[in-house]
Amino acid sequence: MKDLRTVKMRFENCSTAIKNGRVHRRSNLFFEIFVRLLFRRVDFDGASMATLRDLQEKGHIVYASFQGSATSLLILTSLLRRHGFRVPMLALGITPYLYQEVSNAVRLIFRSLRRLFLGGRFRPMADRDCIKGIVKDREGVVVSLLSRRLFLMRYLEKRADPFQDIIEIQKEMEDPIFLAPQLIFWNMNPERTRSFLTSQATGDRGLISGLFTTMKSATPPSMRIAPPIDLKEFIASRPQDSPRLLAQRLRRRLFEIYNLEKRGALGPVIKTGQEMMESVLYHSNIIEMVKRQAEEQGRSERRLRKKAYRYYRGIAADFSIVVVKYFQKFMMWVFRRVFDGIDYSKEDFRMIREAARKGPLIILPCHRSHMDYLIISSLFYENRIMPPHILAGDNLSFFPLGLLFRKSGAFFMKRSTRGLDLYVAVLRQYIKTLVQEGYSIEFFIEGGRTRTGKTMHPKFGMLKYLIEALKEGYSEDMMLVPVGITYDRVLEEKSFQRELRGRKKEGESNKDLVKSGKYLRGGYGGVYLTFGEPMSFRALEKEMGDAGDLMSSVADRIVRKISDAVVVTPYSLVSAAMLVSSARGFDLSSLRARAGLMLEYLTRSGARIAGELKGGTPLNDIIDRVLDAFEHDGIISRIQMDGKRKSGDGVLGGFYSLHDEQRARINFYKNNIVHYFLPVSFYSAALLGAAAGGTTAKGNDAERIFGRLKELFAREYVYPVTMDDTAAACAAAGDFLSGVSALERDNGTIFITDGGTEVVLGFTQMVRDVMESFHVVFGALAGLGEGRMQKKGFLDEVRKSGMKRFHLGDVTLFESLSLPGYQSALAAALDQKALRERKDGDGPAELVVDDRSRAEALEAEMRNLLSSIEEAARTRRRMTISGEGAFAEAGDAADQVH
């Protein structure tokens, strides 16, 4: 800021309007301190701070304010001063306090008297020249878009629009001027159609009304600086327009930004529960369904309307921002107790806010835990974005938790809707109404929580309703936002382990709510929340065209993007390194080497990796921390010289035991990131299969087996886009393995090196559990003969067979005994026409084998591949693995990087 004398001289010959807009530091000091104390809760959000830092470097700033009161100006100047930013020198269109008007009048009288008695001529400057001098010297200017006085002056053409002056100044300047839209959210209350007791979040407020609004609101106020407009680019894009027309267009653009900012932060206008209910139940779709069912079932319309009303009450959310605020505060306290922290990027939320301007947000997270939706909603609110409406299963609608969820924006859906046509019609119409009103919606496209840790294939029901809504004109577009949420440890770890072995899932209840207090002891590590790039449905529709099934293609794109957003955590990396061996123990040096090589592969393949794994902390220290946590929880233990499992002193140094049943427990974390390894794992398995127990393979044979594995395991994994081209995926995997000296290539022939067997087998082990699950199922089908069997009974037999084969040594990995793995194998057998599924009415599903030879061929194919892998494993066990081979070399390299 210039010294006081320079400032006075700058304003000396300006018009009274400009002089009255000068921001006086000294005369405003008392009121600025007073306002700062009263409105101390108001602050810039994170995105606004980033914008201001960027603008500070660029220089020429004009704030386009959506407030016109002196209170709003003082809040702005106080915040800018508090954070070390330049304070504007000039404010145009701001309504001053009474004392300021008196002060300005006194100054005018003294200036007139001085000229009268001391002489001197008044050489008036044009307003544009006064503004230009301020802007050129990088002193900020504030222009109010809500000033009635300025509106009347320019409407009656008594003076030019300030934006017209600024546009003409820009045309004379080389450097760009940036218009920064600025508004105050006095609270975060969404706008409602009926708001007698609710204060509006935006708008112009004076000292008393602003204070009253912020004090009585349960939600916090904030100052928002929207993404700026580069005035030089704005003018260049409309070279034919006059400055006056440009100013009008600029104002319209600024008001568009204002409305979009409101929408992004506050969401759409909230209808009352009564209005939403009438919109849904009086819709022609529901009325026609009621009439049709009345005719078909011979029931009265009144009774069916009553049923539709009950269905609606069971489905609909009852959103309350007050409940959201206090529930969020409670959940943030819970998160601090349970987790070590939640890692996310402020830039991601800035991206989400930008996407919200283009259409309703459809938030699509992976589903790892019940904590998923709680974390996402809490962080939306934390970052000043209205939390989404969440589709939840009706198993969570029990009192009191269901009431709390419903008030927080959850709406509920029955797990099974078979035969409930009226229920489906009400649900579908409710979802379409949410889209029409512009609400953000969150749902889990995978359906339920994954028990294996893998990203699951999509369920189409909810996506189908959303696409129907757009096709029927309920909205112009919707923004699909893939979300990855990754945990070091999930709270449901033990229950998932039990369910994988076939135990029936227990329903949620208040009993579980009471027991949940044990989680507050913590020890679950960190949480990593990441967002993929929001995708416009209309853009996807245009890209995909009419070829194929649009819904299936969109769903496939979504789950792939979700997989891409998953973070490699320390726990998932160490779990994967532990599980690549089928042995019941491991030594620390080998584990470190494996983890180093895996991290090298993940880095090269472009996986999302937790910050501390990128070099912030030595890899060995990270591994030691994870092992300490696993040892504390009884997952691993150190081995005494007498072979007993024990923790503490007198143990065999650097050697750990991993019990069979605990493998399945940490397999969840390996599976979180297994999709990143699929190209190199499939290629490694294909090499071993093509080598048939040896160390030499033909490249064409390996590529053929790779393609066959892709086909067989298509129901088990969501493949990364890099696997679409089999030849390219094999070539990339081969390049990596060659780079770590695991293989050599010569004219289409591939040689696995002496140390490379360990590396190739290690990557193969990442998917061996699935191979063994499939082998168990294919073997059971081959033994079934030509006939039929109930599906449930067959899976029970498969589970028994798997357990027997594990104890006989045919199955080497305990995590292979997985019910979801068996179900995927059965689906693959159906795809391969080895059997068919038949269902009569409401009776149980039956499996029918018409041609036993196909099942036998599948069993033989998987048996031969596993035999080749086991032969390589026997070869490896004959080698000295500690401190030798490519794993150890890669581990040393990784240590140097970290």
| Segment 407-450, tens digit of pLDDT | 998 999 988 888 889 999 999 999 999 999 889 999 999 988 89
Between helix 588-604 and helix 570-579 the angle, nearest 10°, is 120
pLDDT at site 11: 65
Q: What is the rounded distance in angstroms from the CA atom of residue 678 to the CA atom of residue 763?
A: 9
User: Which amino acid would we find at residue 206?
Assistant: G
Contact predicate 557/549, CB 8 Å: no
Residue 896 clears pLDDT 50, i.e. is over it: no
Report the alpha-carbon angle 830-728-738, nearest 5.
115
| Segment 770-794, tens digit of pLDDT | 999 999 999 998 887 666 788 888 8
Contact predicate 365/444, CB 8 Å: yes
| Segment 554-569, tens digit of pLDDT | 999 999 999 999 999 9
At residue 107 the predicted structure's pLDDT band, cuts being 50, 70 and 90, is: low
Q: What is the rounded distance in angstroms from the CA atom of residue 473 to the CA atom of residue 496?
A: 42
Residue with tokens 């010297």: 137
| Segment 438-470, tens digit of pLDDT | 899 999 999 888 999 999 999 998 999 999 999
| Segment 77-93, tens digit of pLDDT | 889 888 888 888 888 88
pLDDT-wise least confident of 201-205, 651-655, 669-673, 725-729: 651-655
Choose among 68, 260, 64: nearest CA to 146: 68
Q: What is the rounded distance in angstroms from the CA atom of residue 764 to the CA atom of residue 733?
A: 12
Q: What is the rounded distance in angstroms from the CA atom of residue 122 to the CA atom of residue 180?
A: 34
State percent of the chain over pLDDT 90.
42
At residue 886 the predicted structure's pLDDT band, cuts being 50, 70 and 90, is: very low
| Segment 826-873, tens digit of pLDDT | 999 999 988 888 877 667 888 888 778 888 899 999 999 999 998 888
Q: What is the rounded distance in angstroms from the CA atom of residue 686 to the CA atom of residue 698?
A: 10
pLDDT at site 650: 46
Report residue 818 as tokens: 């997985």
pLDDT at site 26: 57
User: Which amino acid would we find at residue 217?
Assistant: S
Most confident of 120-129, 534-543, 747-756: 534-543
CA distances from 466 to 319, 456, 473, 554 (A): 21, 20, 11, 12
Q: What is the rounded distance in angstroms from the CA atom of residue 433 to the CA atom of residue 92?
A: 43
Q: What is the rounded distance in angstroms from the CA atom of residue 593 to the CA atom of residue 235?
A: 59
pLDDT at site 898: 41
pLDDT at site 457: 92
pLDDT at site 130: 82
pLDDT at site 196: 46
Residue 883 clears pLDDT 50, i.e. is over it: no
Q: What is the rounded distance in angstroms from the CA atom of residue 613 to the CA atom of residue 274?
A: 52
Average pLDDT over every residue of 886-893: 47
At residue 96 the predicted structure's pLDDT band, cuts being 50, 70 and 90, is: low
Contact predicate 553/498, CB 8 Å: no
Helix ranges restricted to H, 642-659: none
| Segment 631-642, tens digit of pLDDT | 988 898 887 655
pLDDT at site 875: 73
φ and ψ at 810, to 5 degrees? Answer: -70, -35
Q: What is the rounded distance in angstroms from the CA atom of residue 785 to the CA atom of residue 683?
A: 33
pLDDT at site 592: 92
Q: What is the rounded distance in angstroms from the CA atom of residue 401 to the CA atom of residue 380?
A: 20
Average pLDDT over every residue of 103-124: 63
Residue with tokens 């853009």: 539
Residue 50 clears pLDDT 80, i.e. is over it: yes
The pLDDT mean for the chain works out to 84
Average pLDDT over every residue of 174-203: 76
Choose among 401, 419, 418: nearest CA to 410: 401
Q: What is the rounded distance in angstroms from the CA atom of residue 386 to the CA atom of residue 364?
A: 16
Q: How far apart are the first and last CA of the chain?
A: 46
State percent of the chain over pLDDT 70.
85
Q: Which residues contact 339 (CB under 8 A, 6 or more apart)?
A: 487, 488, 522, 524, 525, 526, 527
Q: What is the rounded distance in angstroms from the CA atom of residue 734 to the CA atom of residue 763?
A: 12
CA distances from 283 to 276, 544, 671 (A): 11, 32, 45
pLDDT-wise least confident of 117-121, 141-145, 541-545: 117-121
Contact predicate 86/79, CB 8 Å: no
User: Which amino acid would we find at residue 732?
Assistant: A
Report residue 581 as tokens: 């061996």
Report residue 447 as tokens: 């359906």
What secondary structure does DSSP assign to 17-83, as a single string? Answer: HHHHTB--TTTTHHHHHHHHHHTTT--B-HHHHHHHHHHHHH--EEEEES--BHHHHHHHHHHHHHT
Residue with tokens 């400057």: 125
pLDDT at site 55: 86
Residue with tokens 């529901």: 286
| Segment 649-699, tens digit of pLDDT | 445 567 888 888 888 889 999 999 999 999 999 999 999 999 987 888 999
Report residue 428 as tokens: 């579908």
DSSP H or E run through 91: strand 90-92
At residue 708 the predicted structure's pLDDT band, cuts being 50, 70 and 90, is: very high
Helix ranges restricted to H, 719-851: 726-739, 756-784, 791-808, 819-831
Q: What is the rounded distance in angstroms from the CA atom of residue 374 to the CA atom of residue 158?
A: 56
Choose among 752, 749, 880, 769: nearest CA to 816: 769
CA distances from 552 to 157, 535, 548, 691 (A): 59, 15, 8, 37
pLDDT at site 133: 82
pLDDT at site 140: 84
CA distances from 405 to 269, 316, 410, 713, 800 (A): 20, 11, 5, 37, 41
At residue 511 the predicted structure's pLDDT band, cuts being 50, 70 and 90, is: low
| Segment 210-243, tens digit of pLDDT | 777 777 676 778 889 988 999 999 999 988 888 8
Q: Which residues contact 387 (CB under 8 A, 6 or more apart)?
A: 324, 376, 377, 378, 380, 381, 408, 409, 440
Choose among 246, 199, 260, 237: nearest CA to 66: 260
Contact predicate 754/805, CB 8 Å: no
Between helix 346-356 and helix 371-382 the angle, nearest 10°, is 80
Q: What is the rounded distance in angstroms from the CA atom of residue 359 to the CA atom of residue 351?
A: 13
Find residue 182's DSSP bridge partners: 65, 225
pLDDT-wise least confident of 105-119, 278-292, 427-441, 678-692: 105-119
Q: What is the rounded distance in angstroms from the CA atom of residue 395 to the CA atom of residue 314?
A: 12
| Segment 305-344, tens digit of pLDDT | 999 999 999 999 998 888 888 899 999 999 999 999 999 9
Residue 122 clears pLDDT 80, i.e. is over it: no
pLDDT at site 37: 81
| Segment 354-391, tens digit of pLDDT | 898 888 999 999 999 999 999 999 999 988 888 999 99
Report residue 781 as tokens: 């089908």
Instruction: Classify 656 as helix, strand or coil.
Output: strand
Q: What is the rounded distance in angstroms from the CA atom of residue 426 to the CA atom of residue 534?
A: 29
What secondary structure does DSSP assign to 756-790, as a single string? Answer: HHHHHHHHHHHHHHHHHHHHHHHHHHHHH-SEEEE
Choose among 15, 293, 277: nearest CA to 165: 15
Choose among 821, 890, 72, 56: nearest CA to 64: 72
Strands (E), 316-408: 341-343, 361-365, 389-393
Helix ranges restricted to H, 228-345: 231-236, 243-266, 273-281, 284-297, 301-315, 321-338
